[in-house]
Structure formats: C-alpha cells, structure tokens
Amino acid sequence: MTNDFPIALAGAKAETLMWARPNEVEHAAQDQLRNISKLPWVHGVRVMPDVHLGKGATVGSVVAMKDAVSPSAVGVDIGCGMMAVKTSVMTSDLPDDLGALRSAIEEAVPVGFQANDGQARVVRRDLKLKVAFDKLFGGFEELRAPRLEDRHKRAIAQCGSLGGGNHFIEVTSDDDGIVWLMLHSGSRNIGKEIAERHIYAAKGLDHNLGLPDRDLAVFLAGTAEMDAYLHDLYWAQDYAKLNRRIMMATVKGVFARFFPSVVWGREVNAHHNYVARETYDGVDLVVTRKGAISAKSDEFGLIPGSMGTGSYVVRGLGNEASYCSASHGAGRKMSRTKAKKTFSVDDLARQTEGVECRKDAGVVDEIPGAYKSLESVIEAQTDLVSVEARLRTLLCVKG
C-alpha cells in the first residue's frame, strides 16, 4: 500500500514534512510547527499522523537540531513510552469475566496518585531489577537540576507506578488469539520536576529572549546548561524505562497467578518522549521526539489507540525522510475539557463495550471518541512502519 505522504508544511522555514493532511491539523498546531521550524538551530521537523497542539512543542513532532536542544520539544514526561510482552495464553483460556484479574492488577500496581510503600516489592525479589534500580538511584545525588533533594523518597516510591491521564495497563489479544500484556507510562513526577526546572533555566538565557515562543527556549552545545540538561534527561529516560520494567514484572506476576503455565515471549520497551543523537543528511544532530517512536529498520515499536480501541505492534522501515520515526499513538482530536463536555458516562460505557475497564466520570476524558482513528493513523505511515500485530483490548486499567 502506498500513500501521498509526506506533505511539506507551507510557511515553515526549516524543512517540515508531514505525514498528515494540513486540513486535518488544527491551525494552532500548524502555527506551533512553523514557530519551531524558524528556530535558527533547527535542521528539520517531521510531523507524525497523530499530531496535535502541545505545550511549547507540538505532540507528534520530531525536531532535529544542530548544536542545540529544546526541553519543550521533549515535554515534561521525559521517557514516556510503551512496553508489551507476548504470552503463551490464548483468549480461549481466559474466563468470561475478567473483573477479578483487573482488580488484582489494580491492587498490585499503584495507579493515579498512589505510589509504592518505598521500593516496589518485585524489585526486592528480582535480582536484575534490583541491580538496575540500585544503579539508577546511585546517580540521584548527581542530578544537576536544583531543589531535587526532597524528591528522592517520592521518586523511589513512584518507580513501578502507573500514574493517570492517558497511561494504562492492558490485557490484549492479537488476530491469532494470543494474549499480550501492555502498559504505557513514563518518568512520573521526578521527570516532570527535572523538565520544569531546566525549562525555567532555559527561558532566562539571553539567546532565547527574542524567540516567538519562550516555551521553545533552547540550550546550546558546549555550555554547562546543555550538559546539565542532557545529563538529567538521560537519567530520567532510564527511570522511565525501569518504571515500565518494574510494572510489567508486577503485572506478569499477577497474570501468572491466574495462568500458572504461562510462558513469556517477545518484549518491546520503547520511549516516545525522548532525545537521541543521530545523523541525517551527513549532519550530526540532536533529535527530540515528542509523541513519536523510533522506527529504524527492523526496530519494533508500539502504537496504541485509546482505551478500548486496541494497539499495533509495528516494525520500523528505516525511512530517513521521517528521521526514522513513526507516530506514538492515535493522538487526541479534542482536549480533555472538550471531551468531558461532549461525552457522558453512558457514552463511555457504549464505546468501551466488551472491555473490562472503568466506566465512570473520572475517565470520560479518555473516551475513544476523543481520539483520532487509530486505523487512519496507521494507514498514513505505511512507508514508516509495517504492522506485525493488531492487538484488541480485553482489559484496561486506568489511573
């Protein structure tokens, strides 16, 4: 299957290529992309099909800069991403009522504002996780953002917790009836604290004072400020990946109590808010992905929809025109506020029929109708990824 993407964004300064039709992208998001493209350090911008307006930088954008980095082009949930594991369990093995399994997962994994009582229990039992945990927190005191000392205990307690918003834990099945476990989360409060402190510092630098949007403030290569930000950012990215590993180990433990003979298969653990140093057009660049996954050749990734609509396991095609990137999900088509005004609890129940999940006012803003069509988003990037599996949601845990 072929498509007519990418499309160049009119009015952009640095080359800005879109895997989305301009008439389907809100004007505010297009203006935001143009502002990003006009930064003097930007080599190019790539726009994914799940694009929508974000804080400072657009969600669904990939920004390649020369000798600079913008913290807002990563976002405050540093290292947010997805993890999935394939199981040997078939849908025919599942009970008709998944309520007990959902309750057990919710009891084992802290969700919303909850946290572990100190270190997550599974870390104490799993040597590999304990080694990774001790190594990560052995570097906590070396973080360079100010006033983080009193966040140490909270960061420990939240490592292995879900959070709220669009974060989730799911039990899904592919077209062959094979069950997969999946979850979505990031660096929790510590990532937010790190990001906000560095964004504040960037806004005060002289070279950022004349920017069209101060939220796009950058750090410059060769400065102590950029070194400090990247040092802390890489730590937060490691925290986010470990957070997902700990949660998945916990969920696997719960699942194994229900299905003792389960055998674990392929695992995928990938960021979609992060920074990497990469080379394109023969130029060494700092690439920020905010709501985008890496899609290098044969690299596995995960593209989720909204609660109840399922997800895709994909394999990257290594398309350098997109800076080897793809979308991170379906993408919102309306704000949380508008979703709450538009939809009711009854709407939520109808749109999540057949899925074991919360169906109350607290998650109406996460209703499938507030998101773009996942199938359309996948169809728009057939030159970026190939589909390995289509996952159907059976059970969804939300914060």
Q: Which residues are annotated as a binding site?
A: 77, 166-170, 184, 272-273, 304-307, 311, 328-331, 398
CA dihedral 155, 71, 282, 207 (to 10 degrees): -140
Work out whether strand 325-327 and strand 292-294 pair parallel, antiparallel, or are unpaired.
Answer: antiparallel
**Residue 89: which residues within 8 A CB-CB, separation 6 or more?**
178, 179, 255, 259, 262
**Location of structure tokens 């979850």:** 183
CA 381 → CA 17, 362, 388, distances in Å?
13, 33, 14
d(CA 341, CA 371): 15
Residue 387's DSSP bridge partners are: 314
- Known binding-site residues for Mn(2+) equal 77, 167, 184, 272
Burial letters 275-288, b for 16+ CB under 10 A, else e: beebebeeeebbbb
| 241 phi and psi angles, rounded to 5 deg | -65, -40
Q: Which of 43, 198, 271, 328 is catalytic?
A: 328
Number of other residues whose CB lies within 10 A of the CB of residue 322: 25
d(CA 190, CA 119): 15
Is 328 one of the catalytic residues? yes
d(CA 29, CA 290): 13
- Known binding-site residues for GMP equal 166-170, 272-273, 304-307, 311, 328-331, 398
Number of H helices, E strands in the chain: 10, 17
How many residues are given for the chain? 399
- Tokens describing residue 157: 């307690």
Q: What residues act catalytically?
A: 328
